[in-house]
Amino acid sequence: MDKSELKLWYRQPAKNWVEALPIGNGKLGAMVFGGIAQEQIQINEETLWDGRKFDRHNPKALEALPKVRQLLFDDQNEQAAKLAAETMLGNPCRIDSYQTFCDLNLKFSGLTNLDTETIDYRRELDLDTGIATSRYQFGNISCQRDVYISAVDQVMVIHILNDTTVNFQVWLSREQDAQATEINDTTVGLVGQIGSKGLHFSSHLHVLNTNGEISTNKDGRMIIQSATECTIVVSAATSYINQDDTSADPAKICKQILSKLTGSDENRLRQRHLTDHQNLFRRVEIELGKDPGLPTDERLRILQNGGDDPQLFALYFQFGRYLLMGSSRPGSLPANLQGIWNNHLKAPWNSDFHTNINLQMNYWPAEVCNLAECHRPLFDYMQNLVHEGQRTAKIHYGAKGWTVHHLSDIWGFTVPADGIWGIWPVGGAWLCQHPWEQYIFGQDRQFLREVAYPLIKGGTEFMLDFLIPAPEHTAVAGKLVTNPSHSPENQFRKKDGTISQFTYGATMDLQIAHDLFTNCLSAISEIQQDDASFEIEFQSDVSDALSKLAPLQISPETGRLQEWIEDYDEPEPGHRHMSHLYGLHPGCQITLRNTPQLAEAARKSLDYRLSHGGGHTGWSRAWLVNFFARLEDGQLAYQNLLDLLTRCTLPNLLDTHPPFQIDGNFGGTAGLAEMLLQSHNDAVHFLPALPVDWPTGRVAGLRARGGFTVDFSWANRSIEYAFIKAQKAKICQIRADRHLTVKDRSGEMINSQVVDDCTVSFSAEAGNEYQIQ
């Protein structure tokens, strides 16, 4: 993709927030509207959350657990639900919201008759530079405004450049609970607190350079006169240090950040920002078609009306990578339900960390899309949940290890939230898939030992204790099951007609346990290569439990994969969650080649969900792309990606649940990657789910499990060439739509073993690149 094509652009300013353009550095985020006489930039700082830490454990939970379990095994689901609701929820079971920080306002004087006098307006977000620009001609004045957020300097930079002098005012505002103040001749600020007990926060706005005249007033407004050029920098901070410590001094932090810029200029700030941004962003290139040279909103409309624009999918994919870089950088919190971009004080679902799919989906693209560093905040976050998660495991379940239920916040919330569907203690176990994925993609043994394994072990210890053998009179007598259990947020109808959602051994739980135990065992074997006696005893406990897990079941009646331990009827057959297909994606217990019958049953489950209106939310649609990619059905994967773009995407390309929720962007990006490249099944598989609409294309810099980085192109829907680079010495198995030969960099054939018509394997050496033809 030509660098000039890596842009979202528009012919008009944003009329509302969902048209504004996101910028961010993991810690600070902003939405740029691109106004003409008046500009609004809505700012976020990732730690500005309402609430505080306190003990929400329910002392009644553990005592009620055996009774609840018995009732569920005895088919008394509703009695169990009632007792659990009274005893097992967090106390209280609600969390508070992540909040908008403030608005930055810019008001230019003397610009009237905008509609008639403004010409050549263009607003764009350049993904390659991370800079949002508005450009227009007003009368005889040309104006340009660039806005970016630097991860190196931790500031937002606004660079204003006009070819005639202009006068304007700039100030920060947050009406509810903050005050704008004057700080010095070139700096104004904002200071506030959430409620009387919440976080303190502060933001400083400073003119770094201008050729105009600056003055400030007591209301915290900065007035710039007769300037053709002006660079404004903004810092923001809160008193949050971690869940136990909120004693930071935000004004001091803001000042320190700005004082580091003394003597710098916009050019240097921009260069530092570009080097950092492009080091991550430019690792992956993709081409699926030609850029039609139209504004992004028009391209979306054309697609909605049945037009063709393969390259818009490529832009959407790169935008997903860009969003991950903007909302999750080393040292930051992970991307929440809205990434980092939120204009509410009380956001939808509190813009929280939802752990029954949403937080995980945010990170599906991280490894394959070559942004492994951006995955790290999730592991830091998990480590910070462990302490409370261990208490929850012990107090609520009498178990070792750590757990988190279906949502969390920045205060170490790990107890069941909201209602009985919140009594779902396998959120932590699902999260444990992520550090393992980082290891298999990156092959960093030290990371495995120090970060991944301790998290996975704690998750596994909890699961081992939480699982119990199903009693004699049940469908899976003697097998290990979870209890209590849910298939996230879905309900079932029992034979007697009653509807419930509370059960034991829901399929998803069994698949999560399977995945966790399998990964834990693989992690132990990897570490044993350096240390043969590592975890021998624990290893045997885990393999024993794995062999006793209740099996996945195919309904004899419908041929679908059962969502629950019993073949219940579904009152909402088009439900947005497709939890029982976890084993197909993101897990890999179900594959076309190893478990064809289960794969067929999974497909039937998908068909059934879809024929009843499934996939209606953004993230749900994005999950479908991944499922069909794993089923190697390029057409259905494409159809769902198309639906994601045409039905669940806002004019600024952000996903809409509705309302805006970022998981669909990340799930869609991961899904597209999954259509082009898979590696979960012991082979690097090129083009496993290529749709007819992308007959020709090229991608570079994607990563595959095993420590490989690949570039490849295709024509007439068949692989043309590929390059594969190995980080470690490894046996590399590659698969495509035809027989492949392997050569070294100089074109010499190397020894490879033919596995089948389309699969060969060879021994890759560390640091070497191979040509595949």
Which residue minimizes CB distance to ligand FUC? Answer: 349
Tokens of 54: 């306190």
Nearest to ligand FUC of 479, 577 (CB atom): 577
Beta-carbon contacts of 765 under 8 Å, excluding residues fewer than 6 positions away, are 726, 729
Q: Which residue of 349, 441, 694, 712 would you call a contact of ligand FUC, by CB under 6 A?
A: 349
Sign of the Cα torsion 249, 253, 254, 255 reads: positive
- Piece of the chain touching ligand FUC by CB under 6 A; list 34-42, 353-361, 508-516, 587-595: 353-361
The 8 Å CB, 24+ separation contacts for 286-290 are 286/1, 286/314, 286/317, 286/318, 286/697, 286/698, 286/699, 286/700, 287/1, 287/311, 287/314, 287/697, 287/698, 287/699, 288/313, 288/314, 288/694, 288/697, 289/314, 289/694, 289/696, 289/697
Nearest to ligand FUC of 337, 448 (CB atom): 337
Q: Residue 449 burial (CB < 10 Å; 0-12/13-18/19+)?
A: middle
The answer to whether residues 205 and 187 touch, using CB atoms and an 8 Å cutoff, is: yes
Q: Under the criterion CB under 6 A, does residue 508 sit at the interface with ligand FUC?
A: no
| Helix or strand run (H / E) with residue 105 | strand 102-108
CA separation for the pair 565, 537 (Å, rounded): 30
Q: Under the criterion CB under 6 A, does residue 655 sit at the interface with ligand FUC?
A: no
Site string for ligand FUC, 658-697 (x = CB under 6 A): ---x------------------------------------
Nearest to ligand FUC of 220, 671 (CB atom): 671
Please give the distance of CA 339 from its chain centroid, rounded to a whole number.
7
Q: Under the criterion CB under 6 A, does residue 617 sit at the interface with ligand FUC?
A: yes
Q: Pairing relation of β-strands 118-126 and 480-481?
A: unpaired
Nearest to ligand FUC of 661, 752 (CB atom): 661
The answer to whether residues 32 and 147 touch, using CB atoms and an 8 Å cutoff, is: yes
The count of residues interacting with ligand FUC (CB under 6 A) is 12
DSSP state of 333: P
By C-alpha distance, which of 459, 462, 562, 582 is closest to 512? 582
Q: Under the criterion CB under 6 A, does residue 705 sit at the interface with ligand FUC?
A: no
- Piece of the chain touching ligand FUC by CB under 6 A; list 196-204, 238-246, 352-360, 580-588: 352-360
| DSSP state letters, 504-567 | SS-HHHHHHHHHHHHHHHHHHHHHHTT-TTTTHHHHHHHHHHHHHBPPP-B-TTT-SBPSSSS-
Q: Residue 156 burial (CB < 10 Å; 0-12/13-18/19+)?
A: buried
Residue 328 CB, nearest approach to ligand FUC (Å): 18
Residue 577 CB, nearest approach to ligand FUC (Å): 6
Q: Which residue of 45, 276, 388, 489 would you call a contact of ligand FUC, by CB under 6 A?
A: 489
Residue 494 CB, nearest approach to ligand FUC (Å): 22
CA separation for the pair 326, 311 (Å, rounded): 22
Please name the amino acid found at residue 342.
Answer: N
Reported as half-sphere exposure (CB side, CA atoms, 13 A), residue 607 has a value of: 12
Instruction: Write out the binding residues for ligand FUC, residues 714-773 only, by CB under 6 A.
Output: none
Exposure letters 477-516 (e unless 16+ CB within 10 A, then b): eebbbbbbbbbbbbbbebeeeeebbbbbbbbbbbbbbbbb
Nearest to ligand FUC of 65, 337 (CB atom): 337
Nearest to ligand FUC of 506, 689 (CB atom): 506
Instruction: Write out the binding residues for ligand FUC, residues 264-293 only, by CB under 6 A.
Output: none
Q: Under the criterion CB under 6 A, does residue 424 sit at the interface with ligand FUC?
A: no
Nearest to ligand FUC of 622, 736 (CB atom): 622
Q: Under the criterion CB under 6 A, does residue 354 sit at the interface with ligand FUC?
A: yes
Nearest to ligand FUC of 273, 406 (CB atom): 406
- Piece of the chain touching ligand FUC by CB under 6 A; list 351-359, 542-550, 718-726, 758-766: 351-359
Q: Which residue of 337, 410, 625, 683 would you call a contact of ligand FUC, by CB under 6 A?
A: 337
CA separation for the pair 53, 200 (Å, rounded): 15
Nearest to ligand FUC of 95, 170 (CB atom): 95
Tokens of 364: 């599906």
Residue 111 CB, nearest approach to ligand FUC (Å): 41
Nearest to ligand FUC of 168, 492 (CB atom): 492
CB atoms within 10 A of CB 472: 8
Residue 538 CB, nearest approach to ligand FUC (Å): 33
Q: Under the criterion CB under 6 A, does residue 657 sit at the interface with ligand FUC?
A: yes
Q: Under the criterion CB under 6 A, does residue 95 sit at the interface with ligand FUC?
A: no
Q: Under the criterion CB under 6 A, does residue 576 sit at the interface with ligand FUC?
A: yes
DSSP state of 346: S
CA separation for the pair 304, 383 (Å, rounded): 43
The answer to whether residues 367 and 703 touch, using CB atoms and an 8 Å cutoff, is: yes
Q: Which residue of 58, 332, 358, 591 would you call a contact of ligand FUC, by CB under 6 A?
A: 358
Residue 5 CB, nearest approach to ligand FUC (Å): 32
Q: Under the criterion CB under 6 A, does residue 623 sit at the interface with ligand FUC?
A: no
Nearest to ligand FUC of 633, 655 (CB atom): 655
Residue 152 CB, nearest approach to ligand FUC (Å): 33
List residues binding ligand FUC (CB under 6 A). Answer: 337, 349, 354, 356, 358, 489, 576-577, 617, 619, 657, 661
